[in-house]
Amino acid sequence: MGLRRRVEREKTEPSENRSSGSDYLGDIMPFIKKGTVIPIISNAMRVEQIFRDEKALTDQISDTAEFNDEDLTIDEQLTKEWAREIQYPMADDHNLARVAQYYQVEQKESLLAKTKYLKFLTNYLLDINAEDENYKDIVSQLRSQEASFSDIVQQLDFPRFPSGMEDPLRVLAKLPLKIYVTTSYYNFIERALEAENKKPRTQICFWSGGKLSAKPEHAPDPLYEPSDTEPAVYHLYGLEDYPQTLVLSEDDYMNFLISVVEDTNTQNPVVPLRLREGLAESRLLMLGYHVKDWDFRVLFRFILKYRSIDSAPRGMLIQLKPGVKQIGNKEKSIEYLSQYFDKKQFDVDWTNSEKFIRKLWGEWDKYRKGQA
């Protein structure tokens, strides 16, 4: 399929998987029941599931994975493809924020550059399926319809999980939670919730303006009270329906933070009051991020704006162990990162998101049946 992410199996003792709080999963079960746990889901998590092959998906749930230093992530490989297409001239052609920054300058218009990035991704997925006998007719239809990336993914039956592996987003959607937060540009979480007979409401962070152009169902509603059957899905970094809301380039990340910090609207703020309260008071599960990437670094700083180190409940960062070439002294680096996040009231589970979600569901299933 062109893009593959190789994973390296590593046997570890259970004590190595956690930075602290060995029974974190058990501890949060009552809070899941109350709906005061918030998953925060990266854009990369679903994108990587879409573009990985079946063997890599199987590896991801069978053993703890860590990066092979010779490889780029799926996101980085996709960025290299885009950089090649737009003739990006610099060496860091796997860095999406840098490549997007260049292209926004080249196009002289941020909205145009973001629209073309979305088009690149849809074309890429269509191209790699154009010769598949099972899907080539659908591919032709989708091209003529100029379908969105979310629609293309669904129509082409992605992600194609191996037999016996349940979709991790469907697993999260089964939980009785009131709020889901994502930095994805696509409505994958909403579709998972709908498949579980829930009625999610999409909420978008209009950090760059554009609220007046929002569809009625996406318009900010300060009176909206999320529930476990009608949960809110907050798209912090924008949604493909509104390309101007995408947080993509270095400037976008900086402007996003500035807009949040400088927002003084107390009635209908950029970050809704319900979300502010949730980030401050709930237990957070951060899924599918890499600590070195722009999307995580800005997101984490954004989250800390609303959380008190002294009173906030502990959160969890689910993180693959980095490779040696990424960080030098691996053992010391992991110790440092664990200590850093511990001081910010976050534990670290050094594993992958799919495996963590599977463990989470196992604990919840026992708890709800009174077996925990």
Paired residues of 284 in beta bridges: 38
Structure tokens at 342: 């511990």
Tokens of 204: 């978008």
Does 38 have pLDDT greater than 90?
yes
| Cα–Cα dist 47/186, whole Å | 10
* 338 close to 19: Cβ distance less than 8 angstroms: yes
Kindly report, residue by residue over 123-159, the tens digit of the pLDDT: 999 999 999 999 999 999 999 998 999 999 999 999 9
Beta bridge partners of 86: none
Query: Looking at beta carbons, which pairs linking 221-230 to residues 24 or more positions away fall under 8 Å?
Result: 222/267, 222/268, 222/272, 222/273, 224/274, 225/274, 226/178, 226/179, 226/201, 226/274, 227/35, 227/178, 228/35, 228/176, 228/177, 228/178, 228/198, 229/198, 229/199, 230/198, 230/199, 230/200, 230/201
Token pair for residue 291?
């600590």
Q: Does the pLDDT value for residue 238 go beyond 80?
A: yes
What mean pLDDT do residues 339-353 have?
A: 93
Query: CB–CB of 319/285 below 8 Å?
Result: no
101-113 pLDDT tens trace: 999 999 999 999 9
pLDDT band at 23 (very low <50, low <70, confident <90, very high): confident
Query: pLDDT-derived band of residue 328, with 50, 70 and 90 as boundaries?
Result: low
Q: By C-alpha distance, which of 155, 166, 221 is closest to 362?
A: 166
- For residue 64, the model assigns a pLDDT of 46
What CA–CA distance (Å, rounded) separates 315 from 323? 24
Lowest mean pLDDT among 24-28, 153-157, 252-256, 262-266: 262-266
Q: How far apart (Å, rounded) are the C-alpha atoms in residues 344 and 224?
A: 30
| pLDDT surpassing 70 at residue 170 | yes
Average pLDDT of the chain is 87
Q: Which amino acid is at 131?
A: E
pLDDT, position 323: 57
Question: According to the model, what pLDDT value does residue 163 have?
Answer: 84
pLDDT at position 264 is 84
Q: What does the pLDDT read at residue 5?
A: 40
pLDDT at position 6: 37
Confidence band for 195, pLDDT divided at 50, 70 and 90? very high
